[in-house]
Amino acid sequence: MAAASALCKKQQHSQKYGRIFKSRFGPQLVVSIADRDMVAEVLRAEGVAPQRANMASWKEYRDARGRATGLISAEGEEWLKMRSVLRQLIMRPRDIAVFSDDINGVVTDLVARVRALRSKQPDGLTVLNVNDLFFKYAMEGVALMLYERRLGCLEEQIPQPSLEYIAALHLMFSSFKTSMYAGAIPKWLRPLIPKPWKEFCHSWDGLFKFSQIHVDRKLSEIQAQVAAGQEVKGGLLTYLLVTKELTLEEIYANMTEMLLAGVDTTSFTLSWSTYLLALHPQVQQQIYEEVVSTLGHDKIPVSEDIPKMPLIRGLVKETLRLFPVLPGNGRITQKNLIVGGYLIPAGTQLALCHYTTSLDESGFPSATQFLPERWVRKDATDRVDNFGSIPFGYGIRSCVGRRIAELEMHLALTQLIQKFRIQVSPLTQEVRAITHGLLTPGAPINVLFVDRK
């Protein structure tokens, strides 16, 4: 059964207009590139500080509120400084490996929550709308690494501050497409159409408020430890607050943006992964056998175990190929480029159509089929073209939280497959992807979690 059936607008345009075409986005000229070799040309030509895209709405909000930019929204020297600080803390596998035990604690709660949720259903097996469950798992895991604190998102009664943040995050995602379009809408139109901009600002207010509460709490704890003459130990946030390599406002901004970016990547990918596993029981069985042969039935995996299970890694890569959370990426050219034989002047906004390239038969034979084994190297010469599917970006501007997201997904999927046989619920019909800025399931994904004997 074909796993990817939805076409985003850029895919439809590429079928109609070709691999490179221009269009208007309000007053902005946008050049769309839907060819992996041309995408490679653009990304390989980047300098030391690539400009992501026009994020005027994000900058306008920060200017209005007196907020700093974070690693997602910053540009130029400001961005380089932040990346230099954060890169040494969360971008190398060995730095992230130390979080295995913490994340496994969250996975334990995830498994318990699966059992609690299915017990409420008549069949005792169904978990309704798994993305809601994985959204809370992702938020709990990312926040633990960022704020060094559990939030209670997987508890039966979620604490009120966490509920408020979840509401702000949902509002941000629901208004994501509109907010990205805000830079293309003249400001004089806002009095006539005030709701999108107000919701955009309201959601950011909620996100920043939540981060500020937790950053300030950690700062107070550190100050109390120093005053008592105690040694200060901790993780990422503690390091940033103690070293002062970033200002307090920059820490607020980066904590906010990294949490925002980390939740959707993990939750949507886990939702699609469970759906694909349920649709393809033979593939699920292969992965289960790999897990059991590596870990047995009861051993809890850690970061060092993941390279021994290439199909678990292939499962995540294949899911992200079929359903990349960000179906496209943006760049502003910083110099004149020749791409596909066309001159693209400096200052042009580019849209790199990753969803299109990831479903291109020339890069991925049987491109619409779910084949995690395509990512398992048979020998040293065997490889998959990276530029066809780059869900975390490429080069110096690639996702700074990639290793965190991968660890969360690998550990969660390994334990879920180890403990449950995942099946499609009779309540779920075919789920298609829809594009609202992010690529999301177009309907609730309901699955059965059947205990393995």
Residue 26 confidence (pLDDT): 62
- Per the structure, the count of domains in the chain is 1
Task: Give the whole-angstrom CA distance, residue 378 versus residue 62.
Answer: 49
Residue 290 confidence (pLDDT): 97
Three-class secondary structure of residue 4 per DSSP: coil
Domain membership of residue 209 (yes or no) is: no
Q: Which has the minimum average pLDDT: 36-45, 86-95, 98-107? A: 86-95
CATH of the domain at 140: 1.10.630.10
Asked if the model's pLDDT at residue 416 lies above 60, the reply is: yes
- The length of the chain, given as a count of residues: 453
Domain membership of residue 242 (yes or no) is: no
Domain membership of residue 98 (yes or no) is: yes
Higher-confidence position of 348 and 289: 289
Domain membership of residue 390 (yes or no) is: yes
Averaged pLDDT, 290-303: 94
Percent of the chain, pLDDT > 90?
50
Residue 97 confidence (pLDDT): 77
pLDDT digits (tens, 9 = 90+) for 3-30: 444 445 545 555 555 789 888 766 678 8
Please give the residue range of the domain that contains residue 431. Answer: 9-147+261-451
pLDDT digits (tens, 9 = 90+) for 389-403: 988 888 878 887 888
Domain membership of residue 221 (yes or no) is: no
Beta-carbon contacts of 200 under 8 Å, excluding residues fewer than 6 positions away, are: 57, 61, 172, 175, 178, 179, 182
Place of tokens 């993780």: 235
pLDDT digits (tens, 9 = 90+) for 334-349: 899 999 889 999 988 8
Averaged pLDDT, 146-173: 85
Compute the Cα dihedral for 291, 297, 302, 305 and give only its sign: negative
Q: Mean pLDDT, the chain, as a whole number? A: 86
Domain membership of residue 117 (yes or no) is: yes
Residue 252 confidence (pLDDT): 96
pTM here is 0.90
Asked if the model's pLDDT at residue 89 lies above 80, the reply is: no
What token pair was written down for 205? 């207010």
- Kindly calculate the radius of gyration of the chain based on its CA atoms and give it in whole angstroms: 22
pLDDT band at 154 (very low <50, low <70, confident <90, very high): very high
Asked if the model's pLDDT at residue 449 lies above 50, the reply is: yes
Domain membership of residue 399 (yes or no) is: yes
Percent of the chain, pLDDT > 70?
89
Domain membership of residue 196 (yes or no) is: no
With vertex at residue 284, the alpha carbon angle to CA 282 and CA 286, rounded to the nearest 5 degrees, is 70
Helix%, strand%, coil% for the chain, nearest 5: 55, 10, 35
Task: Indicate the annotated binding residues for heme.
Answer: 399
Residue 203 confidence (pLDDT): 82
Q: Any idea what DSSP says for residue 388? A: G
Task: Indicate the annotated binding residues.
Answer: 399
Residue 166 confidence (pLDDT): 81
- Nearest partner of 70 among 283, 350, 331, 261, judged by Cα: 261
